[in-house]
Structure 1
């Protein structure tokens, strides 16, 4: 590879992957200005010069039932990516999360001699730990974002680097609520609940009606309560607004495309779907109620495979229920409203959460883009 800038293949299948990958692409370009990164990605990656062959929305499916409905298209996309990269091999391939899609692709590429990096280790500590054997065959180097994960891969003989969590490096240790409220035009005296029902169509379909009904119940307790819902793009915004319209509309509801970090900085508490957004809320030091609802078959399968009592990342990382989780049938509008009201009003508990989440933030801060880009270029034979 001497004298030539590498081409890096990359696949990110959902908005959280787009958020994680964008600063790494920027760091890759800083190290290798002639670099080209191509594959599947989202708008933040495109803003860093990424060449998207497919939009990431094609891969953003939710649960086993949703995957089955979209399986022919997903298999077709993966086959096309494999064909293109086997015909013109990149210096390395980077799979960003999306393990069920990426591990099969990584296995085929590595078998053909293409080095593979997986960015964000899958939750082997939570469920499906047997995947470590498949990972050992598919992945040349694993990048993990939580400190306890490194030993799992070291013990299995998989080269690994702990890179910290990218969000910890970009979210302020002490978020400025007043400044965020000024940017959004929110009065300092208003109580604000953020509604974050997920980034996928299936998540919105299952959670948005429950979150909105919970918001309506909460506004009976506090008629001035403001509800802010940052959506992952215009399509999800339209879907959420259509759901609100079917429920008859609501006063004090603000639905925006993007802007999740301003909303998290400005709000008093969050109703949030399990996923990366829960960690984002924790890094903003906000009390939250975590929820998730899947098609019944998908939930039954995942529940049988689970190892831990927690699903939300703040609880997993703190090793206890520091914030409530209301899953599946427990996620009724009334239960969500009751838990969210406590999150909005329990000042003593919220002060304790700020201390816990600040300690968590400090543990996760590293120069993630630099560590990740260094590891990727080393695997690609472009280090030094």
Structure 2
């Protein structure tokens, strides 16, 4: 059997995590396979040759993408050339649809099979994209059970594999043990800060989170604020603002789930982190800011009422969402205070978050999608 060549492309931190898990499972099935593409620290650790680091793709929002369009298209062209020259036996694209679907189109033209892992949120906005997606890919692997019908109705081969977080997020420490692991002592409340994994998210949300912490510190003088840094963001993006703030905000790297577990409440950017926090079981407030024009356009295109994945999976607003102009330090601090002070409110949130795990499917998502990929390669 000839050695299989598999190209993998992830565009952000959560995609790096998911694709790394997939790569490890594929290596067990195909120990001689060659893996290369776009990724970050997790994919490199899993043995994927990263031709381009994930940090170069860290752009979010319509307006933001336009600003970086020429640079991003340059990266697309470099990857198209890789497809032409190295001719992988399979192209696996994880999320990041606007970028990845351009590569899918090129791969289809070259006769390279395409597996798309993590469906674009066609159920949330621009549902007519499904036909375009179907014309460019060979198979879709989805994380949520309600997504399968969308692709089946359009004649697109689809597999529900479940969410990798169902495997990766396991509560193994008590809150006290998590605090000890972070070096947090004292009786004051612990409020976790997660400003996101993209450059634009951090730039917009970090000042708001710092000011929210300042207001909460006035109400709770003993409060502590561990801040989880995503692997895609450098410490230099945080340190100047944190030093200027003069608050007990401690930058924590590589221990996001420990921060979630140690906290009495978490202030988080919308994204995959909201699902992680839900699985850990910590009450949260979800915040987000983007370019005003991007927000206005996306609001018109959206077909659902919530943006936080934890709320979408729950089917209701379990965690309060404060978006755009509503994401003020005053509103954020007030919501955290309510979580800390209102026992009934906090217990309701915790109970609803406890239902999320059951809605993410059974365990073994990485193994299941690896089996799908192996079938596409004709080895399983």
**TM-score, with structure 2 as normaliser:** 0.96
In the alignment, the residues of structure 2 paired with residue 29 and residue 215 of structure 1 have an alpha-carbon distance, to the nearest angstrom, of 44
Gaps of 5+ in 1: none
Match of 1:324 among 303, 307, 320: 320
17-26 vs 62-71, which moves further: 62-71
Cross-structure match for 1:379: 376
Cross-structure match for 1:301: 297
Per-residue displacement from partner, 1:124-170 (whole Å, max 9, x unpaired)?
11101111011111111111111111111111111111111101112
In the alignment, the residues of structure 2 paired with residue 107 and residue 355 of structure 1 have an alpha-carbon distance, to the nearest angstrom, of 44
Equivalent residues of 2:142, 2:162 under 8 A apart: yes
Cross-structure match for 1:265: 261
Cross-structure match for 1:4: 2
Paired residues, what number?
379
In the alignment, the residues of structure 2 paired with residue 331 and residue 370 of structure 1 have an alpha-carbon distance, to the nearest angstrom, of 39
Alignment of 1:268-287 (within 5 A): 268-287=264-283
The structure-2 alpha-carbon separation of the partners of 1:188 and 1:4, relative to structure 1 and needing over 3 Å to count, comes to farther
Cross-structure match for 2:367: 370
Deviation of the 1:235 alpha carbon: 4.2
| 1:48 pairs with 2:50 | no
340-349 vs 90-99, which moves further: 340-349
Equivalent residues of 1:117, 1:143 under 8 A apart: yes
Question: 3-state DSSP class of the match of 1:10?
Answer: strand
RMSD over aligned CA atoms reads 1.5
Deviation of the 1:171 alpha carbon: 1.1
Equivalent residues of 2:229, 2:252 under 8 A apart: yes
Cross-structure match for 1:148: 146
**TM-score, with structure 1 as normaliser:** 0.95
188-197 vs 326-335, which moves further: 188-197
Question: 3-state DSSP class of the match of 1:309?
Answer: coil
Cross-structure match for 2:204: 206
Deviation of the 1:317 alpha carbon: 1.1
Deviation of the 1:261 alpha carbon: 1.2
In the alignment, the residues of structure 2 paired with residue 23 and residue 164 of structure 1 have an alpha-carbon distance, to the nearest angstrom, of 13
In the alignment, the residues of structure 1 paired with residue 349 and residue 166 of structure 2 have an alpha-carbon distance, to the nearest angstrom, of 16
Question: 3-state DSSP class of the match of 2:55?
Answer: helix
The structure-2 alpha-carbon separation of the partners of 1:197 and 1:370, relative to structure 1 and needing over 3 Å to count, comes to same
Cross-structure match for 1:91: 89
Equivalent residues of 2:314, 2:355 under 8 A apart: no
In the alignment, the residues of structure 1 paired with residue 88 and residue 188 of structure 2 have an alpha-carbon distance, to the nearest angstrom, of 52
Equivalent residues of 2:193, 2:267 under 8 A apart: yes
Deviation of the 1:181 alpha carbon: 1.5
In the alignment, the residues of structure 1 paired with residue 254 and residue 63 of structure 2 have an alpha-carbon distance, to the nearest angstrom, of 27
Match of 1:122 among 98, 120, 123: 120
Gaps of 5+ in 2: none
Cross-structure match for 1:37: 35
Equivalent residues of 2:242, 2:249 under 8 A apart: no
In the alignment, the residues of structure 2 paired with residue 178 and residue 37 of structure 1 have an alpha-carbon distance, to the nearest angstrom, of 41
Equivalent residues of 1:234, 1:257 under 8 A apart: no
The structure-2 alpha-carbon separation of the partners of 1:10 and 1:32, relative to structure 1 and needing over 3 Å to count, comes to same
353-362 vs 30-39, which moves further: 353-362
Cross-structure match for 1:159: 157
Question: 3-state DSSP class of the match of 2:285?
Answer: strand
Equivalent residues of 1:287, 1:344 under 8 A apart: no
Deviation of the 1:234 alpha carbon: 7.7
Equivalent residues of 1:173, 1:358 under 8 A apart: no
Deviation of the 1:296 alpha carbon: 0.9
